[in-house]
Structure 1
Amino acid sequence: MNTILVSGFEAFLTHQKNPTEALVQKLDGTEMDGTLIKGIVLPVSFARAAELLIEHATAIRPNAIVMLGLGAGRKQVTPERIAINVMDGPPDNEGAVMTGQPIKQDGPAAYFSTLPIRKIVNELNRHGCPATISNTAGTYVCNDLMYRVLDHLQTAAVPAGFIHVPYTDDMVGVEEVSLPGDTVEKGIGQALRVVASTL
């Protein structure tokens, strides 16, 4: 049986919740179209997030890796096209502050997602979940995780990439940008089915 490893993040900065944490916990151990889904919740840490995910992937040897994170202020589910070789942003959950440092000294400027992101977006929209490709994963821990994982996998035939999800409506007031939680959950489920269909 094929396995997809799905990661989410804990809450961070001023966000009291992170929808990807509960989503990954719910997905862990389930089967989808004959594919086993394994989940892991990662710390919002430049030093540890990618290290933990790579360790987990080495142990379970998944056929694909789908990383999830909160895209606060976004209105759609957004598969990321690219991760860039830079760390910059507010303090992570361990207090580390990065101000323009490269993720990997002398590493490539960027890595492109190896997930079928166009097909994912088309299928999500077809099933009623607003989605679009994003051309920036930012410069915070999400981008760092995507870059490091793709760098690790560059000689392996394991598709991997990052998907940001918006606030869910249980997180914010009606004046804030959000999507219903069940819409996000169904959308990510559909994205995983797309990935599973390519394995």
Structure 2
Amino acid sequence: MTRAGVLHLSICPLFLMSRYQKLVNLRMSMARVLVTGFEPFGSHERNISQDVVESLPKQLECIDPWQDLRQHSEVPINIQIETKVLSVDATGSVEIAHRLLNGEHWDAILHIGQCDSCSIPRFETRAQDRLAMRIPDNDGRRIVDSPLTGNGDVWSSAPLKAWQNIDWKAEWELSEDAGTFLCNETMYRTLSTLQSPDSQSGSSIPCFFLHLPGPDQYSVEDGTALVEDILERMMYRPVLNVVCALITNEDSYLVAQRIPDAVHGAKWEFPGGKVEPGESKQTAIVREIGEEFGWIVEAHQSIGTFFHSLSHTDIALHAIPCTRVDTSPVFEDSQHWTSHQSIQWRNILDDSPLDWLGNDEAIVAWMRKTGYLVKST
């Protein structure tokens, strides 16, 4: 895994942070979230989503899950949890969308449903523009195969992929297939309304669908604990834990240029990537450099952490001094490179323009200010 799709800007404009700034303003009061489940359907006597929704507390104090990574500490957020058990029919699928259109507002929306084929919880990232009902809904409606609107699929507004880079108490997986029954229909109606130009709430409100395994495979207690963890993460901007390799040679440092057709193509960077759950920074950079170049490196202690923000994510970039164990970098030997088209040694005094990725140039400024290359030679 590379840093593609991770680092865009060294400074985040305030207008890009509007949704999260609203939450900051609510920190000492109450944020309002909506959690929905469904009644039993088909041959089921129970629906775990209803059981979980009915077991949730009315209020929850949330602590920043990324507090150890964030540059500035965030105070706890007290949230008021509103719950609703939806009917398994056309009326239930549009109920929240209609309430949004009528002016109701929440700071986050979580839909929950039951998935009999799931072995672990699934965080649904996409709602299909399709209704294909294997069985009738509770109102007797059965649509064999039809588009919901004809406008195409819609995607979750919650930063679900960023949530993968933090430890969780429970196992879960991302999914792009919420099915074609009422779960998908409800997710589609709500997201379409939030993302509509006429929306009073705005598309930046985090909303997604959680599929839980049936009650014979998953307990209500585990489901409730997972939902509380999810709500906590919905209240805070995620922080991506990222490492980059600081490889030096006397008064020069190594930089790499991304391949043209990649995300952030042709940008220059200190190569690296995201720290996976359970990895140390050193283990992560050794793995990343091996994946990106086929090099074997030895990683040392971080020289510092450099922070910046994207529209929905904060970045904690750790610069890790590395020495190549096998041989010195051969710039022309690119057969094992997976993400870059060029590398070069760049003198610390070189001020010529370079199209940097993210906040990497701040590392160069730090080296100049501290005389790091002089000290390390």
- Write the distance in 1 (CA, Å) between the matches of 2:84 and 2:165: 27
Using the alignment, how far apart are the partners of 1:91 and 1:121 within structure 2?
35
Matching residue of 1:166? 213
Distance 1:152 1:193, change over 3 A: same
Partners of 2:52 and 2:220 within 8 A in 1: no
Q: Match for 2:157 among 111, 114, 117? A: 114
Structure with a larger share of its residues in strand: 2
The number of aligned residues is 186
1:138 positional shift: 0.5
**1:15 aligned partner:** 44
Structure 1 gaps of 5+ residues are 173-177
Alignment match, 2:174: 133
Q: Choose 74-83 or 17-26, whichever is displaced more.
A: 17-26
Q: Is the 8 A contact 2:157 2:208 kept in 1?
A: yes
SS at 1:99's partner residue?
coil
Correspondence for 2:234 among 182, 192, 195: 195
For 2:42 and 2:163, locate their aligned partners in 1 and report how far apart those are by CA, in whole Å.
29
Shift of the 24–59 alpha-carbon distance from structure 1 to 2, 3 Å rule, reads farther
The 2-side partners of 1:64 and 1:115 are apart by 9
Q: Which has the higher contact order (CA 8 A, sep 6+)?
A: 1
2:33 is aligned to: 4
Larger displacement relative to structure 2 (150-159 or 74-83): 150-159
In the alignment, the residues of structure 2 paired with residue 15 and residue 116 of structure 1 have an alpha-carbon distance, to the nearest angstrom, of 32
Q: Given the alignment, which residue of 44, 68, 71 partners 2:88?
A: 44
The one-letter code of the counterpart of 1:96 is: R
The 3 A distance-change label for structure 1 pair 17 and 119 is farther
Q: 1:6 is paired with a residue of what secondary structure?
A: strand
Report what 2:184 is aligned to.
143
1:115 CA displacement: 1.2
Aligned partner of residue 192 in structure 1, secondary structure = helix
Aligned partner of 1:97 among 125, 136, 142: 142
What is the CA–CA distance in structure 1 between the aligned matches of 2:220 and 2:53, rounded to whole Å? 13
Question: Aligned residues: percent identity?
Answer: 25
C-alpha root-mean-square deviation of aligned residues, in Å? 1.9
Higher helix content, 1 or 2: 1
Aligned partner letter, 1:26: S
The residue identity in structure 2 corresponding to 1:129 is: A
Report how far residue 59 of structure 1 moved. Answer: 5.5
Do the aligned residues in 1 keep the contact of 2:52 with 2:223 (CA within 8 Å)?
no
Task: Give the equivalent residue in structure 1 for 2:339.
Answer: none
Q: Secondary structure at the match of 1:182?
A: helix
Q: TM-score, normalised by structure 2?
A: 0.47
Deviation string 1:10-55 (CA, Å, 9 cap, x unpaired) is: 001111101111211222622332111111100011x212322224
Q: What are structure 2's unaligned runs of at least 5 residues?
A: 1-29, 63-77, 238-311, 313-377
Determine if contact 1:67/1:161 at 8 Å carries over to the other structure.
yes
SS of 2:231's equivalent in the other structure is: helix
1:51-90, aligned counterparts within 5 Å? 51-57=94-100, 58=102, 60-89=104-133, 90=135
> Aligned partners of 1:70 and 1:122: how far apart in 2?
25
